[in-house]
Amino acid sequence: MVQLSAPSASERRFMPPAVAVSTVAFALHPPVDANVADPGTGEVISTWGEYAGREGARDEHSTTLWLPLVRRTRPPFDGLWALPGGPIPWDEDLDQTAARTLHEAVLRSPGYLEQLYSFGATTRSATAQRLVTIAYWGSYGALDLASPPSPQPSRDVASDVASAAPDAVTEFSGALVASADDNVAWFSIDRLPELAFDHTEIIDYAVWRLRQRTEYSMVAHRFLGREFTLAQLRRVHEAILGEQLDPANFRRDMLAQGQLEDTGRVEQGTPHRPARLYRFTAEPEKA
């Protein structure tokens, strides 16, 4: 057995590092029933459904990305917000652990999930056990968020092992498991609160990598539903890159990629000419 609680300073140097997974999960906006926290104080102010209705902030005009955070309820960094995550059970792949812990916080499965980088500086927590964090980044699409909260991940994942993890290891995980309460809230990436561990650094790196990816890869469509207009896709790119894009050139370049398929249908209920709806196809069109 492993005895990990309250290690003395002399004992710490013989303890292997704890390993945890943390996930930066981007979305164009929170799910309607999710809590939204005040940027400055970190106080949960309302759900996204109320907030968006009040402010008139529709995702049509979304110009920023959002991500879920979990409030820690024990030391270290008690009370601060942290990325969803947790320790790695002995029989779970790293990818599975990331997916499961994220689902436990958000109650929904992301549409995309990918490993980002491993952080393990010795300065992360001077008084506690050494912690190595394997960071992931992912994205929630409109469909992922529209689905009702589910207690279990959609894909089959061993989740009973979570409670089997020693308490002392759980203590150092990126965040504690929360049960759909006020300890989970969504934040705009432009207005993040003070974060536990080095999670600010992790988020900065995730945003940087997301921008790199959108320039030479098709990841943006994962923020949308199954069908979308080119204007919607362009707004996703603009939100990620933080700059305006020429609609005409954007259309030409996207269609030249051959990964968009015309569904034949058009947008409904617009106050102007409706746009064609496209679908993403993995297979490039053969010319």
Per rule CB under 8 A, is residue 79 in the interface with a second copy? no
Q: Is residue 151 left, alpha or beta, with left meaning phi > 0 and alpha meaning psi from -120 to 50?
A: alpha
* CB distance 279 to 263 below 8 Å: yes
* 229 interacts with DNA by CB under 7 A: yes
User: Which of 41, 122, 127, 249 lies at the binding interface for a second copy (CB under 8 A)?
Assistant: 122
Q: How far is the CB of 268 from DNA (least distance, A)?
A: 8
Residue pair 196/171 in contact by the 8 Å Cβ criterion: no
d(CA 4, CA 15): 8
Instruction: For residue 219, give both structure tokens.
Output: 């990841």
Q: 38 and 53 in contact (C-beta within 8 Å)? A: no
* Residues β-bridged to residue 266: 276
- 90 is a site residue for a second copy (CB under 8 A): yes
- Residue with the two structure tokens 């436990």: 104
Q: Which residues from 249-268 bind DNA, rule CB under 7 A?
A: 249, 251-253, 256, 266
Q: Which span sits near DNA by CB under 7 A: 125-133, 155-163, 190-198, 242-250?
A: 242-250
Q: How far is the CB of 122 from a second copy (least distance, A)?
A: 5
- Cα(178)–Cα(183) distance, rounded to whole angstroms? 6
Nearer to a second copy, 19 or 70 (CB): 19
How many residues of this chain interact with a second copy, rule: CB under 8 A?
A: 36
Q: If binding is defined by CB under 7 A, does position 286 make contact with DNA?
A: no
| 164 contributes a contact to DNA by CB under 7 A | no
Q: How far is CA 281 from the centre of its chain?
A: 24
Q: Applying CB under 8 A, which residues contact a second copy?
A: 1-4, 11-19, 87-94, 115, 117-122, 130, 132, 134, 161, 164-166, 169
Which spans of this chain sit near DNA (rule: CB under 7 A)? 229-231, 246-249, 251-253, 256, 266, 270-276
